[in-house]
Amino acid sequence: MKNVTITVEDAVLEWVRIEAAKRGSSVSRLVGEMLAEKMQHDDAYARAQREWLADTSAFNSDGKPLPTREDVHGR
C-alpha cells in the first residue's frame, strides 16, 4: 500500500473523522474503502455500458421500418 496526502475542507475532515469513529475505523482506512467502492462502481458501470452497446439485438428491426416519433408518442 502507498500513502497519499489529501487536502479537504474542515467540514469534510470533521465528517470523515466522525464517520470513521462510528465504524471503528481510521480515517485513512475509511477513505481507502470509499475510493475502492467508487472504483468498483465505476468499473461495473463501464462494463455494463460496454455490454449494452455491444448488444445490437435491441436495435434490430428485422428489416421492418421503425415506428415514427408520432406513432411512438401517439400523436
Q: pLDDT by residue (tens digit) across 4-49?
A: 999 999 999 999 999 999 999 999 999 999 999 999 999 999 999 9
> At 56, is the pLDDT very low, low, confident or very high (cuts 50, 70, 90)?
confident
Domain positions in the chain are 26-51
Other CB atoms within a 10 A radius of the CB of residue 13 amount to 13
**What does the alpha-carbon distance between residue 44 and residue 32 come to, in Å, rounded to a whole number?**
18
Q: Which three cell numbers stand for residue 20?
A: 470513521
Which of 11, 10, 2, 34 has the alpha carbon at shortest distance from 25?
34
- Judge whether 27 and 20 are in contact, CB under 8 Å: yes
**What does the alpha-carbon distance between residue 45 and residue 52 come to, in Å, rounded to a whole number?**
10
pTM equals 0.63
Q: Looking at the predicted structure, is the pLDDT value of residue 69 above 70?
A: yes
